Structure 1
């Protein structure tokens, strides 16, 4: 008897796990997604000037074929390709997997409002009044929403990726961005793309740190010596030493990626908390870097006085009324406060619990959701950014495609229900 697996979310995580489920099983897969498949926040709302923050050579959807995206796009491995193009690539990957496994994939163009897990499967309730009943449910909805800001402004824009939300802002009045990370960079590029802006875009954050920059060509990864590292202090010391020996920190940061989850789980909760309070922002600036062409544009905007980076607490920011708009570009917030309705419903019902440090949901080692009573659901799984906290490196394509393969294999190893 075939099982049915419901995949809630049709962005990158949803596409990658659907591909693996079709590849390694006879299961039927139902994707629940109201928007464009393969889009999601990262690729669905991208404009022509938004490029990937990783090189084309790292972006294959196939764990067995690292050059798949490079061949599909005609890119050089070191290139930073348009994000819109990557969304098209994900749709092609999904279309090819569906065509190779005819009759096994369905798509429900609706929004999931509630998940009701049970001993024999789960029900995904949709906003069109219908429901999907499945033997297993995979939550692939992306991470928590951006940290909410307590600001009063007549044009406070909480979601910079909402269609058309940045259109029509006057070019002769400044715009305030809350945050100085990659989202703020994307928004600044959009607000200055037509060349008409005369007033500055001002980005503010507590530390005022911008993402750092990739080099034009990538050096081979060079992992630091981590075997003798017993504490967070030891890890920091080893990384600094390796960066000094290499002459560049980038290959050291890149070389650490295969070990980050192991390092994270080896830290005590206190050390994890210390990292989040004191080192996480600096790490993100080094780990999630700007493409060289994006960094060059940022430099040009700053030199022209059209982009200002300021440091300080935005809650006490003076003169908010002088800005045409205030745009929330902060990073993901903490759960439960930044949970969307679907995840929030699971938490409120005790069907899930907040994971370490509020960064995501609690999961068991295979990625199954852990309920409030501490028991893992046999048939409710999560993939991608909502694993953060239990895992650390869980937001980029190489890690998510590996998660997708492991999840599909673990699910395949479970007994198939016997027909009555």
Structure 2
């Protein structure tokens, strides 16, 4: 009997896991629940031409067995940083090709999931049009937490800079304040200055005032630091600094650590994880999630022209909010449960899921199955993507999500029944 797997979310995580479910489970019927066209999502759906991927084309394949799939599709060189809008088109084509190659096995419900109700032998997904999707397994692929709320009021406060048209409507002759100095703030600054008509500065503030660092034009091969004897967070930091000194550049060392980050994270004590989050996480993110060289050059030019200012300080104490035409929240994802969307928030309220470590995401078992408030592992409710943060660390980028999708689909593959075994 054919099983049904419901995938809630049609962004990058939803597309990758749908593709793997179709490849790995010949008896599976997949229903993708997504109000918009599958393949866009927050990262790619509303990107502008000047928004580039912050990873090289060689890292962005949707196919775990074909690392050059995106490189060939785009016609790019492996070291190129391609437009995010282009990558959204790629994901949509990957999805469409997977559907076409598996006739009758995929359904798309253009609606929003509002509830998930466990049932005997599966679960029901309640949609905002009042209908139900019943499935043997449900995969939650809804992206990360919502943006962190900010403790102030402004008549033109923009909590979602990705809302279509919201930035283009702002005046160019009055300054705009960005809360945050990470990659989202960089993207917003590029949009606000894209037409070269801006005469007032864009001011970005954060507690440390740190911008993302920059990729080199040419990629160096990864260099693995010596981590075997590292027993504490202090040991890891010491080993990384030593390796960066020997390599003459920290970038290959950071890249070389990537396959081991989840192992390092789970080996830390909860106290060491908390110390990392309080003291080192922002610095690490600046080194790990870097700007494309073209984007970094534009940021330098804007700063030299006085059109982009980076300030250090706490948001609550920042003076003169009224002087800004708008305040844009670019602070990045918040902590749960406050930053949970309606669907995830409802699951938390009903005890069907529980918070993961440090409230960064939801709790899962090693295979990616969701854990309820009472500690029980749901055999048929799965999680993929950024909401695994906390239980895992490296879970927001395509290579890691691609690997999660493959393992999840493999785990859901029907097992043959052995003769004579009940």
Q: Answer whether TM exceeds 0.5 for this pair.
A: yes
Report SS of the residue matched to 2:124.
Answer: strand
1:194, 1:187 → 2: CA distance?
13
| Cross-structure match for 1:8 | 8
Does residue 331 (structure 1) correspond to residue 358 (structure 2)? The answer is: no
Asked if structure 2 preserves the Cα contact closer than 8 Å seen for 1:147 and 1:338, the reply is yes
Paired residue for 1:51? Answer: 52
Alpha-carbon distance in structure 2 between the residues aligned to 1:168 and 1:269: 45
2:323 maps to what in 1? 322
1:118 CA displacement: 2.6
Structure 1 distance, partners of 2:177, 2:20, is 42
Displacement after TM superposition at 1:119 (Å): 3.3
8 Å Cα contact 1:155-1:325 kept in structure 2? yes
Distance (whole Å) between structure 1 residues aligned to residue 80 and residue 44 of structure 2? 17
In structure 1, the partner of 2:409 is: 408
4+ long deviations beyond 3 Å:
413-416
Q: Is 2:206 the counterpart of 1:231?
A: no
The CA deviation at 1:97 is 1.0
Q: Give the Å deviation of 1:414.
A: 6.1
Q: Quick check: 1:114–1:345 contact (8 Å CA) kept in 2?
A: yes
TM-score, normalization: structure 2? 0.98
Deviations 1:220-273 (A, max 9, x none): 000101000000000000000000000000000000000000000000000000
Matches within 5 A, 1:154-303: 154-303=155-304
8 Å Cα contact 1:119/1:378 also seen in 2: no
- How far does residue 165 in structure 1 lie from its aligned partner after superposition? 1.1
Return the offset for 1:415. Answer: 8.5
Does the C-alpha gap of structure 1 residues 414 and 271 become closer, same or farther in structure 2, counting only changes over 3 Å? farther
- Answer yes or no: is the 8 Å Cα contact 1:355–1:361 preserved in 2: yes
Q: Distance in 1 between matches of 2:215 and 2:313?
A: 26
Looking at structure 2, the residues matched to 415 and 388 of structure 1 have their Cα atoms a distance apart, in angstroms, of 33
Instruction: Give the Cα–Cα distance (whole angstroms) in 2 for the partners of residues 344 and 122 of structure 1.
Output: 18
Describe the SS at the equivalent of 2:115. strand
Structure 2 unmatched runs, 5+: 418-422
Q: TM-score, normalised by structure 1?
A: 0.98
Distance in 2 between residues matched to 1:313 and 1:370, nearest whole Å? 36
Please report how far the alpha carbon of residue 128 of structure 1 lies from its aligned counterpart in structure 2 after TM superposition. 1.0
**Structure 1: distance between partners of 2:257 and 2:372:** 32
- The residue aligned with 1:370 is 371
Corresponding residue number in structure 1 for 2:420:
none
Counterpart for residue 88 of structure 1: 89
> Deviation of residue 36 (structure 1)?
2.2
Question: Are the aligned partners of 1:38 and 1:88 in contact in 2 as well (CA < 8 Å)?
Answer: yes
In structure 1, runs of 5+ residues without a counterpart are: none
Deviates more, 1:127-136 or 1:274-283: 127-136
